Amino acid sequence: MQPLLIKAILVVIIFVITLLVALYATFAERKVSAIMQDRIGPNRAGPFGLLQPLADGVKMFMKEELIPSLSNKWLFIIGPCIALLTSFMTGVVIPWGGSITIGETTFDLQITDLNIGILYLFGVVSMGVYGIMIGGWASNNKFSLIGAIRASSQMISYEIAMGLAIIALVMTTGTLSLKDIVMQQDAGFANIVYQPVGFLIFLICAFAETNRAPFDMPECETELIGGYHTEYSSLKLGFYLFAEYINMFVSSAVIACFYFGGYNFPFQTELQNWLGFSNNVLSILQVLAMFGKVLFFIFFFMWVRWTIPRFRYDQLMTLGWKILLPLALINIFITGIVMYFSGSIN
């Protein structure tokens, strides 16, 4: 098979999986919130309510499409498209598993292994704020605008701390490619052991970047009536909500790759030697391990959302600038000192 064809198939598969996970994440969110509040949750559509996402989707389609007459029409349409597009684009550099051999050809379970994967990831993620910013601006509504402004200032503030947390990680791993970072963790300890503070900072910033509670400041149902998507209806609103869930999925994957060994699972080589299965079987197991980690973090995102109330805006800024940023800098400093004295740099 041609490499291009294989890549195309891989792209389609990952696209579909991303869609499916995001679709069922909406359902899972409702279920998780239900069981944490001692309720049963949606269980009417299909067995155990499993067709609920479908019903929600149909509902979104059927809603009336409203474009405010005083809005900037083109920007109003482009906003949700950018939000969805960028959230899809982030999934490109994530390694989902080892490599699979079919016949003569071997291919990686990763769409593309950019040597500057982390940089690409950051670039695309910060583009995501344009979707929110443009949407909020084009709505010509003060609530939307406040939501959009909050979103952009929040993202800028937390991106700095996030970037600095990653720099400490890059110092220890010495590479910007996600594949290499994951491969370095295939034996021994995962990166969380070496970078616990970095992980904490990254996790908190991931919550802020995906606009999830307790940092869902741009949406703020209770004070901004939905924030940047106040004026949106029908499928365009669906795009925004969907983008949030895809972001959550990708963030979970990134956290798993950076700090929890990505697709590696404990004792994999020992297990392979002992049971003697082929590389293909190992890769499939690795994909499952990866998805296990990702699903856990998606659950964690929801778990936190239904536990912690929203921050106040000044608290959010204090946390970002006065706590996380210095903490990230100290982390880099200490990482450097430890590396110097342990002799990994000279």
Q: Which stretch binds other proteins (CB under 8 A): 36-44, 101-109, 165-173, 325-333?
A: 36-44
For other proteins, the closer of residues 200 and 325 by Cβ is 200
For other proteins, the closer of residues 1 and 308 by Cβ is 308
229-233, long-range: CB within 8 Å, 24+ apart, which pairs? Answer: 229/135, 229/144, 229/147, 230/139, 230/141, 230/143, 230/144, 230/147, 231/66, 231/68, 231/71, 231/76, 231/139, 231/140, 231/141, 231/144, 232/80, 232/135, 232/139, 233/63, 233/64, 233/65, 233/66
For other proteins, the closer of residues 34 and 77 by Cβ is 34
Q: Which stretch binds other proteins (CB under 8 A): 32-40, 160-168, 220-228, 289-297?
A: 32-40
For other proteins, the closer of residues 27 and 228 by Cβ is 27
Using the rule CB under 8 A, which residue among 101, 307, 318, 344 binds other proteins? Answer: 307
**CB of 78 within 8 A of CB of 240?**
no
- Tell whether residue 275 is a contact of other proteins (CB under 8 A): no
Whether residue 3 has a cis bond before it, omega within 30° of 0: no
- Tell whether residue 35 is a contact of other proteins (CB under 8 A): yes
For other proteins, the closer of residues 187 and 323 by Cβ is 323
For residues 9 and 111, what is the distance between their CA atoms, to the nearest angstrom?
10
- Tell whether residue 64 is a contact of other proteins (CB under 8 A): no
For other proteins, the closer of residues 33 and 140 by Cβ is 33
- Tell whether residue 2 is a contact of other proteins (CB under 8 A): no
Site for other proteins in 192-211 (CB under 8 A): 200
Token pair for 95: 């390694």
For other proteins, the closer of residues 179 and 305 by Cβ is 305
For residues 264 and 90, what is the distance between their CA atoms, to the nearest angstrom?
21
- Tell whether residue 39 is a contact of other proteins (CB under 8 A): yes
For residues 230 and 135, what is the distance between their CA atoms, to the nearest angstrom?
10
- Minimum CB separation of residue 337 from other proteins in Å reads 23
97 contact partners, CB below 8 Å, separation of at least 6: 109, 263, 283, 284, 286, 287, 290
- Tell whether residue 308 is a contact of other proteins (CB under 8 A): yes
Using the rule CB under 8 A, which residue among 122, 130, 306, 313 binds other proteins? Answer: 306
For residues 155 and 265, what is the distance between their CA atoms, to the nearest angstrom?
33
**CB of 261 within 8 A of CB of 182?**
yes
**CB of 99 within 8 A of CB of 279?**
yes
What phi and psi values does residue 102 have, to the nearest 5 degrees?
A: -120, 115
Using the rule CB under 8 A, which residue among 9, 43, 273, 277 binds other proteins? Answer: 43
Q: Determine the size of the site formed for other proteins (CB under 8 A).
A: 13
Using the rule CB under 8 A, which residue among 78, 225, 304, 339 binds other proteins? Answer: 304
Helix orientation angle between 325-342 and 142-173, rounded to the nearest 10 degrees: 10
Interface mask toward other proteins for 140-179; x: CB under 8 A: ----------------------------------------
Using the rule CB under 8 A, which residue among 4, 40, 62, 275 binds other proteins? Answer: 40
- Minimum CB separation of residue 314 from other proteins in Å reads 15
Using the rule CB under 8 A, which residue among 3, 4, 5, 37 binds other proteins? Answer: 37
The tokens 């079919």 sit on which residue?
102
Using the rule CB under 8 A, which residue among 2, 4, 5, 38 binds other proteins? Answer: 38
**CB of 42 within 8 A of CB of 27?**
yes
For residues 93 and 114, what is the distance between their CA atoms, to the nearest angstrom?
7
Residues at the interface with other proteins (CB under 8 A): 35-40, 43, 200, 303-304, 306-308
